[in-house]
Amino acid sequence: MQVLGARLVAFRPQGGGPEQLAVVGEAVNAGTQPAAVDITAGVLDAAGTELARNTAGTHALHWLLPGERTPFRVTFDGPGMTVRPGEVRSFTVRAQGWVTARGLDRSLNVWSQGDAVRVENSGTAEATITNVLRALNDPAGVAWVTQTFLMEAVPPNQSRSAPLGRALPAGYRVLLPRPASGPLGAALPGAALSASALSGSALSGSALYADAFRREEP
């Protein structure tokens, strides 16, 4: 697995509350075998002490064929993860993959319907629990990732829809971009963006992804 790009962002959670941090980006299966995917990220202070660590969980695809990519979002919102933006000086990202025989089916087709998505199952097995991601992109890469589960299984040759946002969250700002000439997670002098440097009008497009747990799989 290889991380292609990542950035540390701050945002306001839906419904209000303190500002939160997240690492968003994109990873690829750079190997020659199908892989089960696990993506983790951490934030560090000026002394290099890790302040918080979390996994992407459902905000990334779980299985990738060789060459396939997944957007990801790691949010530091778990117990004991109250991290203030001013404390963070760098971040780390690690993408791991294990050879797997699961999740190889590619019979899900997904398309956008405004602020909703529709998933069609063109295969022969039920898509029991379907996870759908929308990557919001800007010229520098993946800016944000939204996620939803379909509320019901998708039988073969049928489709289901669900709402899925296509806007950046309130208060979105980039704290640490990944410099093209620097190591992942390190901010070069003057590289940090202001709160107004990236707004919804700067988005260049979006991409949809879906994977599913299938009851018939071992």
Q: How far apart are CA 100 and CA 63, in angstroms?
A: 8
pLDDT given at position 201: 45
| Per-residue pLDDT at 217 | 53
Q: How do residues 154-167 score in pLDDT, each as one tens digit?
A: 999 999 999 999 99
pTM: 0.87
Provide the pLDDT confidence category of residue 216 given band limits of 50, 70 and 90.
low
- Assign 182 a pLDDT band (cuts: 50, 70, 90): very low
pLDDT of residue 200: 44
Q: Quick check: 56 pLDDT over 70?
A: yes
Residues 6+ apart with CB under 8 A from 29: 1, 35, 37, 64, 65, 66, 67, 68, 69, 97
C-alpha gyration radius of the chain:
18
Question: Looking at residue 127, what DSSP letter applies?
Answer: B
Domain ranges of the chain: 2-213
Q: How confident is the model at residue 196 (pLDDT cuts 50, 70, 90)?
A: very low
pLDDT value, residue 193? 39
Please give the pLDDT value at position 186.
40
- What are the pLDDT digits (tens) for 68-118? 999 999 999 887 778 889 999 999 999 999 999 988 999 999 999 889 999
What's the residue count for the chain?
218
pLDDT at 151: 94
**Paired tokens of 65:** 């064929």
pLDDT at 214: 82
The Cα–Cα gap between 89 and 104 comes to 39
Residue owning tokens 């759908």: 132
What residue type is assigned to position 62 of the chain?
A: H
